Amino acid sequence: MPIDPGKVGFKFLLKRNFADPIWGLTSGHVVHKAGNKNCLNLTLRRYIVVSKVVNFWLLRARYQNESQIMSDQISAGVTVHNLWPTQLTRTNLPGAEHANMVLKKLIVDQDAVQEDVTGQYLSQNLMALEHPAIKWLATCIDRAVLDYSRISNIDYSFEWHVQAWPNVNVNGDYHNLHNHPHSWLSGTYYVNVPDQSAVKMHRTDLNPAEISFFDPRPQANMNAVKGDGQCNPEFRTLPKNGDLLLWPSFLHHLVHPNLVDDPRISISFNVIFKNPTSHF
């Protein structure tokens, strides 16, 4: 039978269950006596508002859930292409402490008898010396080259030779920005990197004895945002004794000045294909 709101008490309405298909009102306390049409209309209006709010939050939760499912599906289907990677590997060689004592004496003695031992790098090959410490280093470099090729996904065999030269940087010496043409890989092994902590810095931009590498793509950082790996066009590091760094020869780099009296001694080298035309 139809219900006339004017004849039905407010108490009756408030006692109806929230799930009631007719009124949909929750149980509650009686505030006004029966027969008050204004109170009833106010209650119905409030019910409509509450229903809209409830429906809004239910729909919002539904869309959030669907959006999360869609987002997860999109993330699961993402394919990442690392375009034009520039790999630099760093390894601290086992047995370096003992080997470096021998290599340091060998290089210092060579520097004493040979003029500009560092600048004459093209006319010499330290790897040609029949010396146990040099043979040890040559073996370590070969191992590093194989590791580098594996990381680079080179899945075929190839032959190479290593051309190396010593670097002796006394107080104030440095290396200008350069790269190493006509080679595949280049690297440096660090025999003696002197402690620079006692240097009195008169400028904040001094980085004594460090080596800097630079992004090979000019101005690639111009549109980079904070946190982006492309934001800083320079990678700078202070090597440790026994470190072996290996990078592609096209990569420009420089060596910051040594600012102490103890010489900074290293061995730089190029890795060159024996039959380069077969790898292009």
Give me the pLDDT at residue 52, please. 75
- Angle at which helices 96-113 and 132-151 pack, to 10 degrees? 120
On whether both 159 and 58 belong to a single domain, the answer is no
161 and 267 inside one domain: yes
What's residue 30's pLDDT? 42
| β strands within 23-159, DSSP E | 89-92
Distance CA 86, CA 247 (A): 8
Based on the fold, state whether residues 21 and 135 are members of the same structural domain: no
What is residue 254's predicted lDDT score, i.e. its pLDDT?
97
Residue 152 inside a domain? The answer is yes
Boundary-marking domain end, from 76, 104, 125 = 76
Question: What domain range includes position 44?
Answer: 10-76
Q: Is residue 156 part of a domain?
A: yes
Answer yes or no: is 1 within a domain.
no
The answer to the question of residue 141 being in a domain is yes
Same-domain status, 248 and 151: yes
For the record, the structure tokens of 147 come out as 């590791």
Q: Which residues of the chain have pLDDT under 50?
A: 1-34
Considering only CA atoms, give the Rg of the chain.
37
Residue 89 bridge partners (DSSP): 246
Instruction: Choose the final residue of a domain: 39, 54, 76.
Output: 76
Buried b (16+ CB within 10 A) or exposed e, 234-245: eeeeebebbbbb
Place of tokens 């950082």: 221
Which pTM value belongs to this model? 0.72
Number of domains in the chain: 2
Say if residue 65 is in the same domain as residue 148.
Answer: no
d(CA 63, CA 28): 32
For residue 119, what pLDDT is reported? 73
Q: Which residue has the tokens 């090959």?
A: 125
Q: Provide the pLDDT for residue 82.
A: 79
Degrees, nearest 5: CA angle 196-91-168: 45
Residues 260, 180, single domain; the answer is yes
Note whether 48 and 119 are same-domain residues.
no
Domain identity same for 184 and 265: yes
Residue where a domain terminates, one of 29, 45, 76: 76
Predicted pLDDT at 62: 76
DSSP assigned state of 278? G
Verify that 119 and 255 share a domain, yes or no.
yes
131 and 204 co-located in one domain: yes
